[in-house]
Structure 1
Amino acid sequence: MLPVSIQMRILWTLAMGTVFVVLLQYQSSGAWSQQQGQPVARPDLVAEDLVSMALSKVVVDESAGVSRDLLMGISRQIARYVVYSASCSNVGGGVFGNGVSGGGGYGGGPGMTTVEPSTVYVITPTYRRPEQVADLTRLAQTLMLVRDIHWLVVEDSHVKSPHLGVLLQSFGVRYNHLIAPMPERFKKIRGAKPKGVANRNRGLKWIRQNAVEGVVYFADDDNTYDVRLFNEMRNTQKVSMWPVGLCTRTGLSTPIVKNGQLVGFYDGWIAGRKFPVDMAGFAVSVKFLLERPNAQMPYKPGFEEDGFLRTLAPFEPHQIELKADNCTKILVWHTQTKKNEPSLNVDKEKYKNTNILSLKEIIV
């Protein structure tokens, strides 16, 4: 039995380390430093450094059978556990990403079942194509860094793809896997088709049935997103907007701001639209949406954004909440992945019982 003084010293040291870790997790739960605007270090590693610093202030009597290395090892393990536990209690996933299955249950660890009012509901239409897995993986890696995210991935299909389901589960981001095929009448028309409209409207339907507060954002899977964008939109009261880069030959789509006031829109295709903006350039308050039960996206190619924002009436351009430092920063880019041709068929007999056949189920 260790002397009481040694036991108290150990308990005091562990307590100090735990306090450091909890404070650190609280400070870094957003994964980004607000002051510097740069990614913070991994909380578990920083926590270990803090514990080491705390231990350096403690005098350990090693003659009593307690080695500093042993104490350091125990304290570091506790630090890792506390950070992991704190991250799992964050419904949005926080730094470590606590996923939720498409059926509404939790995957990847324990967690709360309530959704905080600041939740950002990200609606992403998707369809099977050679670039799909790569695009969704890139977007998921971004969402992993954002707290309080609920991802609604809506597949253009009559049945859920099991491969897509496994992929989404692997990311550890809170999500629901939904389906919404494009109506057959639009598949047969020549020219531009209203792609993603059925998917986005399905996402809006899910939100009306399951959410009461938060923010709705349409995030296509082939765009590139700065993680800071999601915190920009988090306090949207009605409709917020910001610039989108790489849109058409104009290079961007954005509200025009002069002396801090909205004076118009800059876009490569105005076409008489009241709200000539890109799909990635605005977010809507869930509460504001619920007050307008008929708001939805029209099946009109080129006018999807404008048509949806018009259905939020009464709502006028002067009510738009300008984000991204009064629309002076670009935090999302309409990059679009290079379109690839479907890959060549594989000789199933030649590659029987090899990894090639299972990999071909992933690659289109």
Structure 2
Amino acid sequence: MLVRMFYTSCRNMTRAKNFALLVLCLLIAGILIFNTSSASSDDTNKEYSMVAENDSMVVCFENFDDTRKLIFDAGYNDVDQDASSDTVIYFVTPTYPRREQAAEITRLGQTLMHVPNLHWIVADDTESCNPFLNQLLKKFGIPYTHIASPMPVFYRTRKLVPRGVANRRAALSWIRNNNKKTGVLYFGDDDNTFDLKLFSEIRTTKKVSMFPVGLIGDYAVSTPIVSNGKVQGFFDSWPAKRKWPVDMAGFAVNLEYMALSSNVTMPYKAGYEEDEFLKSIGLKMQDIEPKANNCTEILVWHTQTKNNKPPKIRISSGALQNDKVNLGTLLRQLESMGVSHISQSEGTAAQITKDGKSKSLLSWFS
């Protein structure tokens, strides 16, 4: 718009034969055109950079207040000792919508409620923020960041889908964007099981700590091999020529150490996420700190909930809208969690059972 105004002024000066002002006018117009072009080029480069990465993320909500103070007075020895440390654990949980999501986040959240000085980064594989998930996270009282970080569509069509990568990359971006250079990073899936002792141990990580993970592969465990207090190799049933054949839940990283590497990343390469991430931070064997009593204890288990398709329940609108009965409220809540679906024409017919006899809800409400 500004360039167009100068062009009109210059044209009027030409008609008036004021050549001195004409030269000055053309000079200013040239500068404006150059600056506009440069700005446009910069914007294009930024846009290209974002598209090239194929990643997108939205920070849905953040809460830095810790409302769990009374829990730490419960008398659990490991928690009491752990509370003396100021080192923050950044606990990264990739998650995705499914019928088990609310149950697994609840189980994990009630474990993390007992861990002081922890910031929970929950990255959800969704295009937009899930308000139900946010309400669930809020009730635990844990300082947290809720991110919507969908997997790029391109990777969803692959034979081996790199699940959780977009989520963890988003968490790494959040750490980088917020200049977090002190503390300990740990990747903890929502279907894993954690001993509270694990958090006391990883909090002292100076570079990279490692420890066994139970229920992994054909060996039922993935662990470093430790001799004389030093890691000598790895015991994992799927080596796959990986330099670091470890499970995602089997290591923790000091953020100050990670900040020394400028190209920290995690690739969209199923099965090699841990290996490439640890390579990107420049890990050397002598940097590894074995935890869990020289890797003789299992403090984290790779438990997995079997994923089932959400069932469809056929139920009358009368039953759903009857405020005097709990069923409508309960089923609508389950639908919001993705646990089940409600239909008036499809699915398993809803019944009520009393004194050993079952009958249709429709007849019960009529």
The normalised TM-score by structure 2 is: 0.67
Change (3 A) 1:212 1:245: same
1:358 equivalent in alignment to 2:327: no
Provide the secondary structure at the position in 2 that maps to 1:284. strand
Does the Cα contact within 8 Å between 1:31 and 1:145 map onto a contact in 2? no
| 2:174 corresponds to which of 206, 210, 232 | 206
Change (3 A) 1:350 1:169: same
Q: Distance in 1 between matches of 2:228 and 2:255?
A: 29
Does the Cα contact within 8 Å between 1:222 and 1:336 map onto a contact in 2? yes
Provide the secondary structure at the position in 1 that maps to 2:90. strand
Partner of 1:167 in structure 2?
A: 136
Does the Cα contact within 8 Å between 2:191 and 2:303 map onto a contact in 1? yes
Partner of 2:258 in structure 1?
A: 289
- Could you tell me how far 1:290 is from its partner in structure 2? 1.8
1:12-31 alignment to 2 at 5 Å? none
Change (3 A) 1:33 1:283: same
Partner of 1:347 in structure 2?
A: 315
Does the Cα contact within 8 Å between 2:230 and 2:289 map onto a contact in 1? no
CA distances 1:304-325 after superposition (whole Å, capped 9, x unpaired) = 0001000011x21221011111
Q: Distance in 2 between matches of 1:330 and 1:30?
A: 24
- Could you tell me how far 1:348 is from its partner in structure 2? 5.6
- Could you tell me how far 1:117 is from its partner in structure 2? 4.9
Change (3 A) 1:117 1:288: farther
1:110-259 alignment to 2 at 5 Å? 117-189=86-158, 191-210=159-178, 211-259=180-228
Q: Distance in 2 between matches of 1:202 and 1:154?
A: 7
1:318 equivalent in alignment to 2:286: yes
Question: What are the ranges of 5 or more consecutive residues in structure 2 without an aligned counterpart?
Answer: 1-68, 322-327, 341-366
Q: Distance in 1 between matches of 2:235 and 2:287?
A: 17
Structure 1 letter corresponding to 2:118 = I
Q: How many residues align?
A: 261
RMSD of the alignment, in Å? 2.3
Partner of 1:104 in structure 2?
A: none
- Could you tell me how far 1:159 is from its partner in structure 2? 0.2
Does the Cα contact within 8 Å between 1:153 and 1:176 map onto a contact in 2? yes
Structure 2 letter corresponding to 1:196 = G
Q: Distance in 2 between matches of 1:288 and 1:260?
A: 21
Provide the secondary structure at the position in 2 that maps to 1:171. coil
Structure 2 letter corresponding to 1:359 = L
The normalised TM-score by structure 1 is: 0.68
Provide the secondary structure at the position in 2 that maps to 1:339. coil
Partner of 2:356 in structure 1?
A: none
| 1:331 corresponds to which of 295, 299, 302 | 299
Change (3 A) 1:125 1:347: same
| 1:260 corresponds to which of 229, 234, 238 | 229
Identity, in percent, stands at 46
| 1:273 corresponds to which of 210, 223, 242 | 242
Change (3 A) 1:234 1:357: same
Partner of 1:32 in structure 2?
A: 76
Provide the secondary structure at the position in 1 that maps to 2:174. helix
Does the Cα contact within 8 Å between 1:274 and 1:306 map onto a contact in 2? yes
1:298 equivalent in alignment to 2:298: no
Q: Distance in 2 between matches of 1:170 and 1:324?
A: 31
Partner of 2:20 in structure 1?
A: none
Q: Distance in 2 between matches of 1:194 and 1:31?
A: 41
Structure 2 letter corresponding to 1:226 = D
